[in-house]
Amino acid sequence: MILRVDDVAFRYRSVPVLDGVSFSLNRGEVLAVLGNNGAGKSTLIKVINKILRPQRGTAYVDGKDVRSLTLLEIAQKVAYVSQRNESPRFTVFDAVLLGRKPYIKWDVTERDIQIVEDVLRRMRLEDYALRYLTELSGGELQKVVIARALAQEPEVLLFDEPTNNLDLRNQLEVLSIMRDLVKERKIAGVVVLHDLNLALRFADKFLFLKDRKVYAAGGPEVMAPEVIRAVYGVSVVVTHVSGIPVIVPLEAEQPSLPEREGASIRGDGAEDEAKLQAAAAETAMSALDGRRRRA
C-alpha cells in the first residue's frame, strides 16, 4: 500500500470540510476523487501533500506519516498539480526541469536532461521546448505543469482537475499518460475530476465525498445510478458504447420543497402525470382502433 488516509478531519477556521475521511491506495492504482463543488476534494489533496495540516487523522505515503517528512522528502515522493497554476518567464524546458529540483544536488545531470526530454516527448511538447510559458495557450500550459509533475518521478501523483482547459484530445491523452505511468512505474495516482465518464474510463477506484464524509468508495461498482443521484442530485443511466462504460445524465432533481407546500405540489404533479398517462393510453388505443378499422 503506497497511500493511506486515516480518519482525517479538517476545518478552515470554524468551517468543517472533512470529517473521518479514510481510504487506501495500492501501487499501480488510480483513484478518482469525486463530489460536488465545495465537497472538500482539493482540501483532501492538500492534506495528503502536507500543504494543510488536519486537526485529526493522518496521511501516510509509503508507510510514513507525511507530517514527519521534510519538504524535500515530500517533493521526492509526491507530485502535485494544482487547479491554479503560475506562469513565470520560463521556457517550457526549464519549467519541466524544475520538476527535477528535489533531486538536483549541485548541478543538472545528464540523467535530469534525459528525463525532461523523455517527458516532453511523451506529452508531445518537444516542439514547444524553447517557448516561454507566457507564449502558450491555457491548455498547453496545463500540459507543461503536468509534464513537470511527471519529471519529478514521484511515488504518488496528485492531480486536481488536470483536464481543466484541455480540449477533448488532450483530456484523453493526459489521463491515459497518467494511467500508463501509474501502471508502468507502480506508483499511485489520485485525480480530482468532475467528469464522471473520464473518471470511469481512467480510474480503478472511486471516492465520493458528500457532507464532509466518504459517501461511497470502491471499484467501478460504486459508480451506480443511486450513488450518483444521492451525491449530485442527478438521475443517470449507465450504459456501454463500443465496450466503454458511459454515464448519461437524464435530469437534475428539483431541490426539495418545504414539507407542507411540497406535499400539495407533489399531489398535483402525480395527478397531472396520471392524466397524461391516461391521455397517452387513449391516443394509442384510438390509433390502434383506426388501424384495425382500415385493415
Q: Which residues bind ligand ATP (CB under 6 A)?
A: 12, 15, 17, 35, 37-43
Question: Which of 15, 168 has the CB closer to ligand ATP?
Answer: 15
Report d(CA 92, CA 106) in Å as an integer: 22
Question: Is 102 within 8 Å of 148 (Cβ atoms)?
Answer: no
Question: Is 103 within 8 Å of 76 (Cβ atoms)?
Answer: yes
Question: Which of 43, 163 has the CB closer to ligand ATP?
Answer: 43
Question: Which of 20, 38 has the CB closer to ligand ATP?
Answer: 38
Q: How far is the CB of 175 from ligand ATP (least distance, A)?
A: 17
Question: Is 178 within 8 Å of 191 (Cβ atoms)?
Answer: yes
Question: Is 224 within 8 Å of 191 (Cβ atoms)?
Answer: no
Q: How far is the CB of 40 from ligand ATP (least distance, A)?
A: 4
Q: How far is the CB of 90 from ligand ATP (least distance, A)?
A: 26
Question: Which of 92, 192 has the CB closer to ligand ATP?
Answer: 192
Question: Which of 10, 202 has the CB closer to ligand ATP?
Answer: 10
Report d(CA 60, CA 71) in Å as an integer: 15
Per-residue cell: 110: 545528464
Q: How far is the CB of 160 from ligand ATP (least distance, A)?
A: 7
**CA-wise closest residue to 101 among 78, 75, 130:** 75
**CA-wise closest residue to 60 among 47, 75, 43:** 47
Question: Is 48 within 8 Å of 4 (Cβ atoms)?
Answer: no
Question: Is 52 within 8 Å of 59 (Cβ atoms)?
Answer: no
Per-residue cell: 60: 501516510
Question: Which of 3, 44 has the CB closer to ligand ATP?
Answer: 44
Q: How far is the CB of 7 from ligand ATP (least distance, A)?
A: 18
Q: How far is the CB of 54 from ligand ATP (least distance, A)?
A: 13
CB atoms within 10 A of CB 16: 13
Residue with cell 482547459: 165
Cα angle value 200/202/206 (rounded, 5°): 50
Question: Which of 59, 181 has the CB closer to ligand ATP?
Answer: 59
Q: How far is the CB of 159 from ligand ATP (least distance, A)?
A: 12
